[in-house]
Amino acid sequence: MPDRKPKRDDASGPLAAKTCAACGRTMEWRKSWAKNWDSVKFCSDRCRANAKGKAADQGAELEAEILRLLALRGAGKTICPSEAARSVAAGEPFEPLMEPARAAARRLVAAGTLVITQGGHIVDGSTAKGPIRLRLR
Ligand SMILES: [Zn+2]
């Protein structure tokens, strides 16, 4: 039996990961955040900027649309984030809304509402590459 304990196993300690309030990605603790980790909400200046004004309104709209589309589709079914992007774009090019739609999905994952899947398996939205699908938890 190995007798070694992990150096740190307290998930509530300063090394506990958080979720960015804008992009929904996991933020790993950094030394530069040591003094104010409890108040860190965003992973980057870009995300801080995205959390207000038009980008924030659009993000909220995308979250609502993802939930609406999933409710329409029915229990256990999935959608592609592009469906929400197209819907919110309302005839305008939807491509600029793709990353915001994926961010909205990651926030909903962090809120415990959704899971992100690839090939039917639940994946980590912070690191998933390529097409993803969304399903209600
Ligand atoms: Zn972020």
pLDDT grade for 7, boundaries at 50, 70 and 90: very low
- pLDDT tens digits for range 64-105: 999 999 999 999 999 999 999 999 999 999 999 999 999 999
Q: Residue 125 falls within a domain, yes or no?
A: yes
* Position 60 in a domain: yes
Average pLDDT of 121-132? 95
CA dist 13 and 79 (Å) reads 36
CB 70 within 8 A of CB 135: yes
Q: Could you tell me if residue 101 is inside a domain?
A: yes
2 CA distance to ligand 1 centroid (A)? 38
Q: How far is the CA of 1 from the centre of ligand 1 (A)?
A: 41
CATH number at residue 67: 1.10.10.10
The secondary structure element, H or E, covering residue 118 is: strand 114-118
Who has greater pLDDT, 71 or 3? 71
Six token digits for residue 75: 């229990």
- Residue 107 CA to ligand 1 centre (angstroms): 10
Contact yes or no for 41/20 (Cβ under 8 A): yes
Q: Could you give the number of structural domains in the chain?
A: 1
Q: Residue 41 Cα, ligand 1 centroid: separation in angstroms?
A: 8
Inform me whether the pLDDT recorded for 14 exceeds 70. Answer: no
How many angstroms does the Cα of residue 3 sit away from the middle of ligand 1? 38
Residues 6+ apart with CB under 8 A from 102: 81, 125, 132
Residue 31, in any domain of the structure: no
CB atoms within 10 A of CB 49: 13
What is the residue range of 54's domain? 48-136
pLDDT tens digits along 21-38? 999 999 988 888 888 888
